[in-house]
Amino acid sequence: MPIQFEKFDVELFLRDYWQRRPLLIRNPWTDWANPLEPDELAGLACEGDVESRLILRRADGWSLEHGPFPEARFSQPGPEPWTLLVQAVDHHVPDVAALLDPFRFIPNWRIDDVMVSYATDAGGVGPHFDQYDVFLIQGLGRRRWQVGAVCDENSKLLPHDDLRLLDHFEATDEWVLEPGDILYLPPGVSHDGVAVGDDCMTYSIGFRAPSRSELIAAWYDDVLADLAEDDRYADPGLTAQDNPGEISAEALARLHAMIAERLLDREAFARTFGKHSSTRRYPDIDWRPEQPIGIGELRAWIEDGAPLCRNPASRFSFVAHSHDALSLFVDGQCFECRGDGAAFARRLCAEDGVAADPGWANEVLETLCALYNQGSIAFDRED
C-alpha cells in the first residue's frame, strides 16, 4: 500500500504557507512507519558513490568530516553529540523514495532529493538557513526545532571553512517533533534542530530553486553552441553620420536585436531548461545496464508482462507543445513525442511504475529502449 496523507489540505497549504511561512504538521500519515533503520543509513555512508557528512558539536566549535566512512567510525564516534547526513537516500532505498509520493502536488522538476540524518542526543548541524523549500519529517526519536528570522546573503555567518552557520540566531517559535510529524520551512527561514535523546532520524525533502545566474549560464551555453561563425552584424543602407566616433541609436538597435532574437526564443529555452533541470544530481554515476537491448528483446519482455519502473535517481519531466505533442526530458536527454508516444510520456512522468502493454506503438518502444539503455528505467523481470 503506498504511503499517503490521511489529513492534509493541499490547497490551503499552497495558498497560505508555500514560500510564505513555516508550518508545523502533526502526523498527517495514514500509518507512519520509519522507512530506514539507523544501521542501514550508516551502511550507505560507507559506500563510495554516496555523499555523506559527519558533523560533531565540540566544546570549541563545530567540525565536519566527509564520507565515505569506515565501518569502525560509527562504533566509536566519540563523546561529543554528532549528526550523520546522507544525501539522496531516495536513489538507493525504495521505501525512502516512496516518501516523495505525497508531495507530488509540487512539480517533479522542483524536487531535489531526500536527505536523511541520524543524530545522538543534543546532536544537530547548528543554526542556519537554506535557499530552498524543505519538508522535515521526523522518522525516529524526537527533535526540537527552533525557527527564527528570514536571512539572506547579507546575514552574518560564523567563521568556518565548510559550514554556513549563523553568527546570531534568535528563535521566534519552537516545537518538538515526534515520529511522523512534519515541519515545512520556506527559503531563507533560519532554523536549528537538536536531537532530544538518541536515535533521532529526520528525513529532509528538499526542493530545487535555480538561480538566475544558473539559468543564464545554461541558456547561454546552448545558445552559443548553436551560433554560426558567419552570423554577423550587417547594416545595409548605412548613411554617413556627423561624428564617426558615435555608436548610433540605429546601430545599437540592430546589435541588441541580434541578441534578443535568439535569447527570446521561448521554445529553444524550454528545451534547454528541460535538459538542464532533468540532469541527475550525480550524473557521473553510471546506471546503464551491462548489455544494451534492442526493440526485439524489449518487445519480448513486454509480452511476458514484465512491468517497468523508473530509476529513483532519474528525473522525468515534459513540456507540452499541443495536446498530442511534447518534449520528454529524462536525465538531460530530450525525446520528441507525438500521438501515442506523447500520451505514454505523460503517464511515465506521472507514475513511478507502469504496467507493460503489448499494444504499445513502435514510437513508445523506441523511447523505452533508449531510456532503458541509458539506465533511466528498468524492467522487473524474475530472471
Q: CB of 81 within 8 A of CB of 54? A: no
Neighbours of 354 (CB within 10 A): 17
Alpha-carbon distance 18 to 12, whole Å?
9
In the prediction, which pLDDT does 253 show?
Answer: 95
In the prediction, which pLDDT does 167 show?
Answer: 93
In the prediction, which pLDDT does 382 show?
Answer: 61
3-state helix, strand, coil in the chain (%, to 5): 30, 25, 45
Phi, psi of 12 (to 5 degrees): -65, -45
Answer whether residue 114 shows pLDDT above 90: yes
Domains of the chain, start order: 10-207 (2.60.120.650), 212-233+246-264 (no CATH), 295-379 (3.40.366.30)
What is the three-class DSSP state of 256?
helix
pLDDT tier at 353, thresholds 50, 70, 90: confident
Alpha-carbon distance 97 to 315, whole Å?
13
- Residue written as grid cell 513508445: 364
Task: Single out the residue of 305, 314, 290 nearest to residue 357, CA to CA.
Answer: 305
In the prediction, which pLDDT does 139 show?
Answer: 97
C-alpha cell read off for 260: 534578443
In the prediction, which pLDDT does 2 show?
Answer: 57
- The single-letter DSSP state of residue 66 is E
- The single-letter DSSP state of residue 162 is S
C-alpha cell read off for 350: 506521472
pLDDT (tens digit, 9 = 90+) per residue, 65-111?
999 999 888 876 678 999 999 999 999 999 999 999 999 999 999 99
Amino acid letter at 149? A
pLDDT (tens digit, 9 = 90+) per residue, 244-274?
999 999 999 999 999 999 899 999 999 999 9
pLDDT (tens digit, 9 = 90+) per residue, 19-49?
999 999 999 999 899 999 999 999 999 999 9
In the prediction, which pLDDT does 161 show?
Answer: 84
Cis check: omega of the bond before 236, within 30 degrees of 0: no
Please, what's the b/e burial string for 2-41 (b: 16 or more CB within 10 A of its CB; e: otherwise)?
Answer: ebebeeeeeeeeeeeebeeebbebebbbeebebbbebebb
Q: CB of 45 within 8 A of CB of 84? A: yes
Alpha-carbon distance 374 to 255, whole Å?
42
Alpha-carbon distance 194 to 144, whole Å?
5
Question: Residues with Cβ < 8 Å from 216, sequence gap 6 or more?
Answer: none
C-alpha cell read off for 329: 526530458
Alpha-carbon distance 180 to 140, whole Å?
8
pLDDT tier at 59, thresholds 50, 70, 90: confident
- Residue written as grid cell 547594416: 235
Which residues share a beta bridge with 327?
319, 336
Q: What is the mean pLDDT of residues 151-163?
A: 92
Q: What is the mean pLDDT of residues 223-239?
A: 90
Please state the pTM of the whole predicted model: 0.90
- Exposure on the CB side of residue 339, measured as CA atoms within 13 A: 6
What is the three-class DSSP state of 142?
coil
- The single-letter DSSP state of residue 5 is B
Question: Residues with Cβ < 8 Å from 22, sequence gap 6 or more?
Answer: 147, 173, 183, 184, 185, 186, 189
Q: CB of 317 within 8 A of CB of 349? A: yes
DSSP string, 178-199: PTT-EEEE-TTEEEEEEESSSS
